[in-house]
């Protein structure tokens, strides 16, 4: 089972949070605020935070720019994962993933099912790697953000988490890009 190896030093990670919404501002963005608070409480760095409308190109522009920055290791989006016409975050980002993280969605839905039952199928939460940066696409509810952070992202973004974690493989995420340059 998973555990924290206290002999390893904690390694802070730089995380950007993007809220996708046509109706929210930074003043009333509960989901983004939930993530920002949990990131800080865990000892990580909130490297950037913004809000963008439900627009494929606008979402892609911000997330692509963030994944190219050296001071951002992880991007977490919240919002736009449902089925309405304006919900386009997965469509915006999944085509840009170099590698999909199918397990993230599966574990998220298992956790969500325990809390909200079959309503979890109304979310298209997803994750992947883009420009050697982890990208996680979460629903726009504070509860979903809490569940994803507390039960998946917080442990996986802790270098001390065993038997394995995202932090320890970060230096190797771009191996496929460097392979041809040797």
Give, as one character, the DSSP assignment of residue 46.
E
pLDDT at 177 > cutoff 90: no
Summarised one tens digit per residue, pLDDT across range 37-63 is: 999 999 999 999 999 999 999 999 999
Name the pairing type of β-strands 161-162 and 133-138: unpaired
Summarised one tens digit per residue, pLDDT across range 68-125 is: 999 999 999 999 999 999 999 999 999 999 999 999 999 999 999 999 999 999 999 9
pTM of the model: 0.95
Q: Is residue 117 part of a domain?
A: yes
Q: Is residue 64 part of a domain?
A: yes
Q: Is residue 139 part of a domain?
A: yes
180 pLDDT band (50/70/90 cuts)?
low
Structural domain total, the chain = 1
The span from the CA of 135 to the CA of 68, in Å, is: 12
Give me the domain span that covers residue 31. 11-173
Q: Is residue 180 part of a domain?
A: no
Q: Is residue 61 part of a domain?
A: yes
* Letter string b/e over residues 71-107, b meaning 16 or more CB atoms within 10 A of that residue's CB: ebbbbbbbbbbeeeeebbbbebbbeeeeeebeebbeb
Q: Is residue 169 part of a domain?
A: yes
Report the pLDDT value the prediction gives residue 182, as an integer from 0 to 100: 44
Q: Is residue 3 part of a domain?
A: no
Q: Is residue 179 part of a domain?
A: no
The CATH code of the domain that includes 21 is: 3.40.980.10
52: left (phi over 0), alpha (psi -120 to 50) or beta: beta
């Amino acid at each position: 089972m998973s555990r924290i190896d206290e002999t390893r030093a904690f390694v802070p990670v730089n995380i950007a949070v993007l809220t996708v919404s046509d109706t929210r501002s930074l003043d009333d963005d509960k989901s983004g605020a939930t993530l920002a608070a949990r990131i800080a409480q865990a000892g990580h760095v909130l490297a950037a935070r913004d809000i963008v409308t439900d627009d494929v190109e606008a979402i892609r522009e911000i997330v692509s720019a963030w994944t190219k920055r050296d001071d951002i290791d992880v991007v977490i989006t919240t919002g736009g994962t449902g089925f309405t016409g304006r919900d386009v975050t997965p469509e915006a980002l999944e085509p840009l993933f170099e590698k999909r993280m199918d397990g993230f969605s599966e574990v998220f839905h298992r956790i969500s099912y325990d809390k909200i039952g079959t309503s979890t199928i109304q979310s298209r939460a997803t994750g992947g790697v883009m420009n050697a940066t982890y990208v996680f696409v979460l629903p726009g509810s504070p509860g979903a953000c809490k569940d994803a952070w507390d039960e998946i992202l917080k442990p996986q973004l802790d270098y001390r988490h065993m038997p394995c974690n995202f932090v320890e493989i970060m230096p190797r995420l771009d191996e496929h890009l460097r392979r041809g340059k040797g």
